[in-house]
Amino acid sequence: MSSSPCQLDAQDFLFRFLHRANVNPNGTVSSGAFSLRRDSAISLGIEKLIPTTSLDAFCALKPGQGLAKVRLDEIQAVGLNVQPEAESAWGEFANAHAVLTGYDGWTNDRKETAARALRNAANRWGVVKAPAK
């Protein structure tokens, strides 16, 4: 993997794939979607590099999963950052791949607090695409 040349701005949106287990019965995102305790490298999609007309193709990278989105400034507000990092497994969307960074060495309590804040941020924007049931 090589670094993507994309520069991110505070107002840029990042997509997070949603497994159906990470969506509550009422359609809201659960904290599990941003589990910093479970995932050592959380992948995100850089919205501005994914044409709206290609959203279905992007979602096909993770069949059956849905999408949530958060803004970079919301991620940074909890002490995290995003590093664009091309991912060849994402095919035509390789350069739209990024990883969440900055939580190495955090306590589990701090990770859970950040996951809740990211869940709340995602719920402010609503689920972009619901996962298959």
Within 8 A by CB and 6+ apart from 48, the residues are 12, 13
Taking only the tens of pLDDT, the chain with its 133 residues reads: 444 568 999 999 999 999 999 999 999 999 899 999 887 789 999 999 999 899 999 999 999 999 999 999 999 999 999 999 999 999 999 999 999 999 999 999 999 999 999 999 999 999 999 999 8
Q: Are 43 and 18 in contact (CB under 8 A)?
A: no
Cα→Cα distances 14→9, 17, 106, 133, Å: 11, 10, 22, 23
Domain chopping of the chain, boundaries = 13-125
Q: Are 67 and 128 in contact (CB under 8 A)?
A: yes
